[in-house]
Structure 1
Amino acid sequence: MSTDYDITETVDVKGLNCPMPVVKAKQAVDSLESGDVLAVIATDPGSMSDIKGWASSTDGVELLEQAEGDEDGETVYRHYVRRTTT
């Protein structure tokens, strides 16, 4: 994972399942300015395809990166999206 961008806001949706990671990401992105980066931290494995699908079908949102890792014995999925328009 290479986070060569400044994260403007982080949304922790650990423990929430579909559709909440996307719902919370959309709510957060709507409050960002163009160029801002949102980090979404989830434990739902479905968030990998859900966030990717949401970003690809949403004008003004660019998926920068997704990563899977282990934190404290729990699998965590990190998603980085950029707001491209306001």
Structure 2
Amino acid sequence: MSDPIVVDARGHRCPVPSLKLMKAMQNAPPGARYVLLATDPMARIDVPFLMSQKGGKVLAIEEADGALSLTIETGGWPDAPTD
């Protein structure tokens, strides 16, 4: 398995961390892993909600030195267009 893609949203307030993560995941295949770095405590709530809406899952949430590290895995993107 390849290393997760890191999305650095430290210093940004809601909704920017979730928007940056969504943009990074835009063309990701199911099962791709990302790590979102965020200093906004709302990311702890926003990202799990986003993943529930997009069919992905949160694998881990860690906090160190005032920053959150959220590891997520993309799902099947239920609202993605089909061919």
Task: Name the TM-score class by shorter chain.
Answer: 0.7 to 0.9
Q: Report the Cα distance in structure 2 between the residues aligned to 1:48 and 1:57, rounded to whole angstroms.
A: 15
Q: Is the 8 A contact 1:13 1:41 kept in 2?
A: yes
Q: Report the Cα distance in structure 1 between the residues aligned to 2:50 and 2:11, rounded to whole angstroms.
A: 19
Cα shift at 1:38:
0.5
Aligned residues: 77
Answer 1 or 2: which has greater strand percent. 1
Alignment map for 1:41-56 (pairs within 5 Å): 41-56=37-52
CA RMSD of aligned residues (A): 1.7
- 1:78 equivalent to 2:69? Answer yes
Match of 2:20 in 1: 24
Unaligned runs of 5+ in 2: 78-83
- Stretches of 4+ aligned residues off by more than 6 angstroms: none
TM value normalised by structure 2:
0.81
Q: Which amino acid aligns with 1:44?
A: D
- 1:68 equivalent to 2:63? Answer yes
